[in-house]
Each structure stands twice: as structure tokens, then as C-alpha cells.
Structure 1
Amino acid sequence: MYTDSNRNYRSSTPGYFPDHDFSYPPWVDEEQADRNRVVHGGSLSYQLTARYNAGFFFRHPLLNGYDYYWRIDPSVEFLCNIDYDPFVFMEENDIKFMWSESA
């Protein structure tokens, strides 16, 4: 839970992501990928976004000044208070990336 006590520890940096990070690389057979897609199989944009978040996002130059990040999708709703600092938890447990999912 974010409160006034930790308000000064948050920051954000606006920027752009290259188009090629959200498309198949040239060596991928797109027809075969379409045939073999399973989870969210009908959504290419979902697949490419998941691929980007899993493999490219943490390498983006905008993150160079950060030790940790926590990706929270706009639709996420926490059903309880978070009674610990997630970034302290990440540091103490040598975790570099955390995410949240909701139904």
C-alpha cells in the first residue's frame, strides 16, 4: 500500500519503446507461430506484449537508473493491504522482477 511515508521513493520516466520489440524477429515463421499459439492464442498483441515484458523490457535504457521495477497492469486490484515494502523484499531475496496478475 502506498502512503505518504513512501511517496518520495517512487519515480517514473516517460519514454518510447522501439516497434521492432513488439513484433516477431525475422527468423520466426509467423504462420507456424500462429498455428502453435495456445494461451491467449487469438491475440497476437497479447503474445507480443508478454514476450516483450518477459525478455526485452528490463534491458530498455529507461531502466538503467533503477535497481528494481514492479510491473502492475492497469486492471490489477489488490484485495488486501500490502503490509511490507515490495522493493525491500526484492532486495532481501535477490529478486529483480516482480509482477502481479488478476482475474
Structure 2
Amino acid sequence: MNETNTLTCPTHCPPTCPCPILLNIASSIAHEEDALACILNAECAKINKVISASSDYEVLIAINTSVQATLEQITELEGVLKAKLDSILPLLAECI
């Protein structure tokens, strides 16, 4: 995830064009989405591991509570990412 490729404007813009910056923001949003997907997969693996290893009611409730808290945080982050994307889409449409 430590890619440092520089995005360039797909059109011939003047040097003050915001397109590269907007494309970098869109790329960072995509990287954050990818990271959240990895977290969701890890939570799924955690649930599967606990279910296969334990049938203790209290353990299952604890894992459920933990996963629910993580999902609530991911939902909040998704809202932030959507707001970021919504804020640059009108500007980005001019670049593409």
C-alpha cells in the first residue's frame, strides 16, 4: 500500500490545474475503502474462528459486541469518505 505513483491530468491542463490533486484525493479515498474492506474481512475471519472454536454463550456475545462496535466505526468512516468523494466529484468531472 506504499505506492507513490503520481497521477497526471488526462487532459492538457494549465500548470495551475487542480486535476492531479483531485485525482490524488480520489485515489486516497479508494485506498481507504480498500483498507476498510480488509478490516471487514478480518472481522469475518474473527467471527468464523470464534464460532468454530467456542460454543460458550458469553464468548459469542463478546465477539458480537466487538464486531458490532467495529462495524459502527466503519459505517461512520464510510460516511466521511462519501462526503469527501461527493465534495470532489463536481470538480473531478471537469478533469475527465
The structure with more radius of gyration: 2
TM-score of the superposition, structure 2-length normalised?
0.30
Specify which structure has the bigger relative contact order, considering alpha-carbon pairs within 8 angstroms and separated by 6 or more residues. 2
More strand by share: 1
